[in-house]
Amino acid sequence: MKKTVLSLVAVAVLASACTTDPYTGEQKVSNTAGGAVLGGLAGAALGTLAGGNDRRNALIGAGIGALAGGAIGSVMDQNENALRQQLEGTGVSVTRAGNQIILNMPSDVTFNTDQDAVKATFYPVLNSVALVLKKYNQTTVDVFGHTDSTGGAQHNFDLSQRRALSVANYLSAQGVDSRRFAVTGFGATRPVAPNNTPAGRAQNRRVEIQLSPLT
């Protein structure tokens, strides 16, 4: 019950902290809000994170060393290899883009229809992700929520936000440092496939975890 109440409080705080990007018109939750809520759930002071630089500085200030030079690629290689081994056959894809790693978690695997609670059957997968995140802690973790275009824009935005937060909350509860997280909901604004087919909509319903090196 306590975890449920905390999650509802977090959603309420994040909903009140939504902003609209003046260039794209997208609604999203700022790094400040996402980091503050996750920090609060983990017992840290609210308002710790004011943006990307402050998130980095908070981690470095906590004694987590920044990466530089050839160490960046080497550490991200280790992250990628470990994640591929842990997530093989789970339905979660691992993509490398330069020095960033993106985990794509289809919502049909992670959540029940129109729900934001992570399926219990998906816990072992997130546990595997948490193991890697804890072992290789020199990364920041951005959690992005996405939906298909079915339903209203506000509903889709809220759902994507809550789902991303649920994933971040679960990983934090497994011992991943909450200061590493930022949470953003994009609703249906970033499709990866056409929304006019069931297969395309299924691809668009997803949560992505993006790992970036702490530099």
| Structure confidence at residue 165 (pLDDT) | 97
For range 58-79, the mean pLDDT: 91
| CB-CB neighbours of 170 under 10 Å | 20
Arithmetic mean of pLDDT, 92-104: 97
Please check the confidence at residue 22 and state whether its pLDDT lies above 60: no
In the 8-state DSSP scheme, what is residue 97?
E
Q: State how beta strands 93-97 and 206-213 pair.
A: unpaired
pLDDT of the residue at 52: 61
Digit-coded pLDDT (tens) for 134-188: 999 999 999 999 999 999 999 999 999 999 999 999 999 999 999 999 999 999 9
Return d(Cα 215, Cα 212) in angstroms, integer: 9
How many other C-beta atoms lie within 10 A of the C-beta of residue 13? 17
Amino acid 55: pLDDT: 86
Higher pLDDT, 36 or 17: 17
Mean pLDDT of all residues in 51-61: 79
| Averaged confidence pLDDT in the chain | 82
Query: Domain 2-213 sits in which CATH superfamily?
Result: OmpA-like domain (3.30.1330.60)
CA angle, corner 67, sides to 172 and 40, nearest 5? 25
The residue ranges of every structural domain in the chain are: 2-213
Residue 39 scores a pLDDT above 80? no
Residues 6+ apart with CB under 8 A from 93: 103, 104
